[in-house]
Amino acid sequence: MNITILQVRQIMPRASYERASQMAVYFSQWSGQFGIDTAARAAMFLAQVAHESSELNVLTENLNYSAERLLQVFPRYFTKANVGYYARNPERIANRVYANRMGNGSEGSGDGYRYRGRGFIGTTGRSNYEAYAKSDWCVGDLMSHPEWLSQSPGDQKSSMFFWWKNNCNRWADADDVRGLTKRINGGLNGFDNRKRLLADFKRVFNVK
């Protein structure tokens, strides 16, 4: 499945020319290897990527939360007694929220921040980084250089790997943007924008 810079920037006008170019080149080069090989699948993939990455502009998870937001978003991990220590400190926040899950060690291990969400569809947690690192598509020592997933081509290849590993084409083939959003996001955050982006990409790719 080939796409052009013009098609990318038509739907993602806030993407820089450089990132739009990288998206077009690498998508055209690798999409078939990950099974994103029809216009409908491409539209669904790119719509989710556009939303998750804010049009290719946010490639590393933002964890710069205020005390008030931490208490709202993560009441399981933060209380009025401890929130002041973590507020506006992304490293501390990530290490607490992601501790002892997704293959990460304890809060003190630093895994939460080291393996925080990166890429167009955020790869998060040591176990997910390791899965991609062990795949045929990863080149180099990713576990020592997790920042590679915020850089091209790792940002895109890791997202395609997530798509392939989680069989996301089943939702694309069923035109089920709701089900796919839940799989990627864990909920329906930004659902209206995802639907709009999907409709735009369908129009560009002539998907009925």
CA distance 201 to 113: 34
Closest CA to 77 of 37, 120, 56, 107: 107
pLDDT, residue 29, reads: 95
pTM of the model: 0.93
Q: What is the mean pLDDT of residues 182-196?
A: 95
Contact 79, 67 (CB under 8 A): no
Beta bridge partners of 118: 60, 123
Per-residue pLDDT tens over the stretch 163-172: 999 999 999 9
pLDDT tens by residue, 5-17? 999 999 999 999 9
pLDDT in tens, 70-109: 999 999 999 999 999 999 999 999 999 999 999 999 999 9
pLDDT number for residue 208:
85
